[in-house]
Amino acid sequence: MTIKYQEELSLAVQAARKAGRLINNKLYRHQVTETKSCLSDLVTEVDREAESCIVQLLKQHFPGHAIIGEEQQGNCTGEPGGNMTWYVDPLDGTTNFVFGVPFCAVSIALAEDGVPVLGVVHDPLREETFTALQGGGARLNGSTINVDKTIATLEHSLLVTGYPGNIANRPRMHQVNYTQVLDCCNNLRALGSAALELAYVAGGRLTGFWEVALRPWDVAAGMVLVQEADGTVSNLAGQPLQLAEDVDIVATNGLIHQELLTCLTG
Ligand code: IPD
Ligand code: CA
Ligand code: CA
């Protein structure tokens, strides 16, 4: 089978690493912190500079593609209406970045007719680049990765979740039974970067992830990573995930998927 989008992947990696250098240089040194939708929804000059740098490279090489970036408020640049769309989160984990917690990532995905086919999640602080192409497997710095298939039950699972940046979405977080999950799993983390958490599920470091009220640029790249690493991705009802405006996601090693869904919605 021919694996498509190799050229797009190498450009996306180049763009993610370039943005990553900006992030690295400004960790503990950024100057501007502003709020967006509410007090806990933060943005810095680094988010904006990193996004401009990525968008510029993508536009230059793929002028016919649409680009949806977080800092353009989800507005499309490039060529709207085509079947190829890039989803860019230039700095996933802004709150960590602002507070000086070294856990954040650059996330870039390409979707064909709404289906993510390419994912890059780059951790600039550890120089770890997670990549995946539909049908081509998932890699970390070039080496194949897979979800952890040695764990088949929640009681043995290390899970991860996140808390919506926009406080208006916090009540939705309580619609899932996370206290029940906490009682059933080995333990639960919240590391503050959905994209990197998904990459960690793909790499077998974490067994499963869920979060409500995410945006498409938070999950598009990580979705491809988990699927290509032989994991399972769905919405809370267990159906295939759509890249909608507002995304509820469950992503696991596959073996614990149903048990986690039942626990979350029970
Ligand atoms: C946030 C991170 C965080 C998640 C929030 C997101 P941002 O993205 O992914 O882990 O819990 O819901 O908004 O704002 O840092 O790009
Ligand atoms: Ca994000
Ligand atoms: Ca972001």
At residue 43, does pLDDT exceed 90?
no
Report pLDDT for 39.
Answer: 86
Quick one: which atom of ligand 1 is closest to the CA of 195? 9
42 and 34 in contact (C-beta within 8 Å)?
yes
The pTM of the full predicted model, rounded to 2 decimals, is 0.96
Quick one: which atom of ligand 1 is closest to the CA of 191? 10
CA angle (45 as vertex; 41, 49 as ends), nearest 5: 115
Candidate from 73-87, 102-116, 235-249 with smallest mean pLDDT? 73-87
Q: In this predicted model, what pLDDT tens digit does every residue of 44-91 receive, in sequence order?
A: 899 999 999 999 999 999 999 999 999 986 667 766 667 999 999 999
Q: In this predicted model, what pLDDT tens digit does every residue of 177-221 receive, in sequence order?
A: 989 999 999 999 999 999 999 999 999 999 999 999 999 999 999
- Distance of CA 93 from the midpoint of ligand 2 (Å): 6
- The ranges assigned to domains in the chain are 6-145, 154-265
Q: Which neighbouring-strand residues pair with 187?
A: 158
78 and 166 in contact (C-beta within 8 Å)?
no
Q: What CATH number does the domain located at 6-145 have?
A: 3.30.540.10
193 lines ligand 1 (CB under 6 A): yes
Ligand nearest to the CA of 42: 1
Report pLDDT for 79.
Answer: 65
Nearby residues for ligand 3 (ion, Cβ within 5 Å): 70, 89, 91-92
123 lines ligand 1 (CB under 6 A): no
At residue 171, does pLDDT exceed 80?
yes
Are domains 6-145 and 154-265 of this chain identical in fold?
Answer: no
Q: What CATH number does the domain located at 154-265 have?
A: 3.40.190.80
At residue 42, does pLDDT exceed 80?
yes
